[in-house]
Amino acid sequence: MTQTGHTSTSPGKQMLSEQVYAHLRDAIMRGVYAPGDALKPQDLAKEQGVSLAVVREALVRVVGEGLADRLPNRGFAVPAVSDRRWQEIAEARRTIEPLVLRMSIERGDVDWEARVRAAHHRLARTPAYVPEEGEYYSSAWSEAHRAFHRTLLEGCGNPVLLETFDRMWTASELARRWSARRTDRDDAREHRRLEEAALARDADTAAELLAQHVTQTAAGLTGRVSTAVEM
């Protein structure tokens, strides 16, 4: 009976943990919690009407994505963001992503090419800004943007490298959500050139374009992250 009871309650706990995780992720990405804010398990458990165990399980997942830090003897907190931190993220992306893109172009098959084309088409057709989300990039565009960049790299066939990308992207997107306003960059042209170089199997050009793309993003956010946080 004990085994049966465990089987029947485990899915429920898992579902609750998934709900709390989704709530936390969305709240952090929308800026409900400011950089450096504490994420107190007791408060979250009371707010969400769940157990501490469920909240801690969700928090561990959020930490794993880079959306929260686990502090020694101090619990959990939203990552603090600074120009230096953003530059470190950008440096990591500039170092790793062009190399993975080269691998992707070398190893990617026709199915990968089709996915790249589809991901770019979706991105190009998704509005970057919508009235209800103000000056921030729209949630739909942000997701299409992530999917395009990840699809470019998926041809590498290495899940460890893709997991590294996922973590770097989440940290990068968090900084963007805290700081990004409308810019004069021609994102559409940059993405179109990336797609064209990748599908032409021009690894040198694609890698160079991707490095430039990340560098320009970093340059655009430097100074604005701190300003947004202070506001």
In a domain, 193, yes or no: yes
Same domain, 92 and 68: no
Q: Which two tokens stand for residue 134?
A: 């103000």
Same domain, 122 and 157: yes
Same domain, 65 and 151: no
pLDDT at 3 over 50: no
Count CB-CB contacts under 10 A for residue 186. Answer: 10
Same domain, 41 and 74: yes
Domain extent for 24: 11-78
In a domain, 227, yes or no: no
Q: What is the pTM of this model?
A: 0.78
pLDDT above 70 covers what percent of the chain?
87
Rounded-to-integer distance, Cα 111 and Cα 155, Å? 9
Rounded-to-integer distance, Cα 181 and Cα 153, Å? 27
Q: Give me the CATH number covering residue 37.
A: 1.10.10.10
User: Quick one: pLDDT at residue 14?
Assistant: 80
Same domain, 115 and 71: no
pLDDT at 123 over 80: yes
For residues 1-6, average pLDDT: 41
Rounded-to-integer distance, Cα 33 and Cα 66, Å? 15
Q: Among 82-91, 153-162, 217-226, where is mean pLDDT lowest?
A: 217-226
Question: How many domains does the chain contain in total?
Answer: 2
Instruction: Give the DSSP per-residue string, 138-180.
Output: PHHHHHHHHHHHHHHHHTT--HHHHHHHHHHHHHHHHHHHHH-
Q: Is 211 helix (H, G, I), strand (E, B) or coil?
A: helix
User: Quick one: pLDDT at residue 87?
Assistant: 84
**Structural domain ending residue among the three candidates 30, 53, 78:** 78
Same domain, 149 and 172: yes
